[in-house]
Chain A
């Protein structure tokens, strides 16, 4: 739940450099063409320290419906594995003038990340998305 109306919330979440600090472990983010960004992210999953370098691209957006689709692709060259995530972000107005934020992700892990430790990586990824949503709600709250 985000304490702001949908337009305010929409303008914020679609401004990726602004929401970047909400992503746990994200260390760099720079523009890469239209609707795209390049970035690096560090995460720890058990004994594994993962350094992902990759891109995020907005593949579709509809301000009317408050819905946006993202494609995230990143790889860790040292470990030899990669991640591909499609993320759907949905903002729905609620009766009391706030906005409900829903994030759905579909992630495929490839290479070493895929063959080894899938369940734990999935769990860590889910925790990361949850923390992102919480941070985002916090940021919108501060802005609104």
Chain B
């Protein structure tokens, strides 16, 4: 690891001031699980590291007046998976965070850090995007920008977090009434690995029992999480049968763009994306009581 200067931010204003001072040469750190590894591998070589852990007021989980769940950016991922409000209102999200690595990593890694990291292999983003969550980005002098999770991830490890901004919160609405949700993570290697393919699905039946609305979002199969819009469009308003689901899942092969790695070739991941989309939609239907 190349040496650097470490600055512990006392509060958000202090963090913004440090960011302004060191700009491009600074990296923010909360849990540090991602950044320390990047620095060890020399992928990231900041001259200054700004610690966020001591900032008060970003570690709570609350219900908003609209019935959404607001999660402070410095909540650890374990806090999220264990919080009764999360389990009750957005069980899909509790389950997605529970799939991250090991309890020890979840004890350290934070919600905000994970979002800013922008790694397309992470577990939570597909579920957050499927539920229509938004990310709160704060900047100096009280500036605030709210970005849909779907638009946060712009490229491989690149997010829409702009210079001078800090992720301060995550707002997740519950799934629509009557909807079923599912998150499937394909793990052919070890239980604590990143997914080979992951799929989050939210299925909302209409009054006739057909597909009223559907969201399907995939992780680990592209430079960002990928929403399978063509597959969703083909199912909206349709009866959900083996045929319609199978045809929609097949479309996912064209939507994904997997990088080859030790978890599988591009072709293999493409095929698994189809298989796991099919299974995730079925699981969500089961959870909605549709089958």
Residues of A whose CB lies within 8 Å of any CB of B are: 44-49, 78-80, 112, 116, 119-120, 123
Is B42's CB under 8 angstroms from A78's CB? yes
Q: Using Cβ atoms and an 8 Å threshold, which residues of chain B touch A119?
A: 259-261
23 sample A-B contacts, Cβ–Cβ < 8 Å, listed by A number: A45-B156, A46-B43, A46-B156, A46-B157, A46-B158, A47-B38, A47-B44, A47-B157, A48-B44, A49-B44, A78-B2, A78-B42, A78-B45, A79-B42, A79-B43, A80-B42, A112-B42, A116-B41, A116-B43, A119-B259, A119-B260, A120-B223, A120-B259
Q: Min CB distance, A83 to chain B, in Å?
A: 16
Kindly report which residue of chain A lies nearest to residue B35, judged by CB atoms.
A47
Is B43's CB under 8 angstroms from A48's CB? yes
Q: Min CB distance, A112 to chain B, in Å?
A: 6
**Distance, CA A105 to CA B5, complexed state (A):** 41
Q: Min CB distance, B120 to chain A, in Å?
A: 9
**Distance, CA A80 to CA B261, complexed state (A):** 21
**Distance, CA A20 to CA B44, complexed state (A):** 28
User: Which 8 residue pairs across A and B have the least CB separation, nearest first?
Assistant: A46-B157, A46-B156, A119-B259, A47-B157, A48-B43, A47-B43, A119-B260, A79-B42
Q: Using Cβ atoms and an 8 Å threshold, which residues of chain B touch A45?
A: 156
Q: Using Cβ atoms and an 8 Å threshold, which residues of chain B touch A123?
A: 259
Which residue of B2, B223, B259 has the most chain A CB atoms within 10 A of its CB atom?
B259
Q: Min CB distance, A116 to chain B, in Å?
A: 6
**Distance, CA A120 to CA B45, complexed state (A):** 19
Q: Min CB distance, B1 to chain A, in Å?
A: 12
Is A112's CB under 8 angstroms from B2's CB? no
Please provide the chain B residues from 249 to 272 with a CB less than 8 Å away from any CB of chain A in the complex.
259-261
**Distance, CA A123 to CA B157, complexed state (A):** 14
Q: Min CB distance, A130 to chain B, in Å?
A: 16
Binary flags per residue of B222-265, CB closer than 8 Å to A gives 1, else 0: 01000000000000000000000000000000000001110000
Binary flags per residue of B30-70, CB closer than 8 Å to A gives 1, else 0: 00000000100111110000000000000000000000000
Q: Using Cβ atoms and an 8 Å threshold, which residues of chain A touch B158?
A: 44, 46
Q: Using Cβ atoms and an 8 Å threshold, which residues of chain A touch B38?
A: 47
Is B156's CB under 8 angstroms from A120's CB? yes
**Distance, CA A122 to CA B44, complexed state (A):** 19
Q: Using Cβ atoms and an 8 Å threshold, which residues of chain B touch A112?
A: 41-42
**Distance, CA A21 to CA B43, complexed state (A):** 27
**Distance, CA A33 to CA B155, complexed state (A):** 39
Kindly report which residue of chain B lies nearest to residue A50, judged by CB atoms.
B43
Q: Using Cβ atoms and an 8 Å threshold, which residues of chain A touch B44?
A: 47-49
**Distance, CA A3 to CA B261, complexed state (A):** 40
Q: Using Cβ atoms and an 8 Å threshold, which residues of chain A touch B259?
A: 119-120, 123
Q: Using Cβ atoms and an 8 Å threshold, which residues of chain B touch A79?
A: 42-43
Q: Min CB distance, A80 to chain B, in Å?
A: 7
Binary flags per residue of B115-158, CB closer than 8 Å to A gives 1, else 0: 00000000000000000000000000000000000000000111
**Distance, CA A60 to CA B157, complexed state (A):** 39
Q: Using Cβ atoms and an 8 Å threshold, which residues of chain A touch B223?
A: 120
Q: Using Cβ atoms and an 8 Å threshold, which residues of chain A touch B261?
A: 119
Which residue of B43, B259, B260, B261 has the most chain A CB atoms within 10 A of its CB atom?
B43
**Distance, CA A25 to CA B132, complexed state (A):** 36
A sample of 15 more A-B contacts (CB under 8 A), given A46-B156, A78-B2, A112-B42, is: A45-B156, A46-B43, A46-B157, A47-B157, A48-B44, A49-B44, A49-B45, A78-B42, A78-B45, A79-B42, A112-B41, A116-B43, A119-B261, A120-B223, A120-B259
Q: Min CB distance, B33 to chain A, in Å?
A: 13
Please provide the chain B residues from 138 to 184 with a CB less than 8 Å away from any CB of chain A in the complex.
156-158
**Distance, CA A120 to CA B2, complexed state (A):** 24
**Distance, CA A44 to CA B158, complexed state (A):** 10
Q: Min CB distance, B224 to chain A, in Å?
A: 11
**Distance, CA A49 to CA B261, complexed state (A):** 21
**Distance, CA A79 to CA B40, complexed state (A):** 10
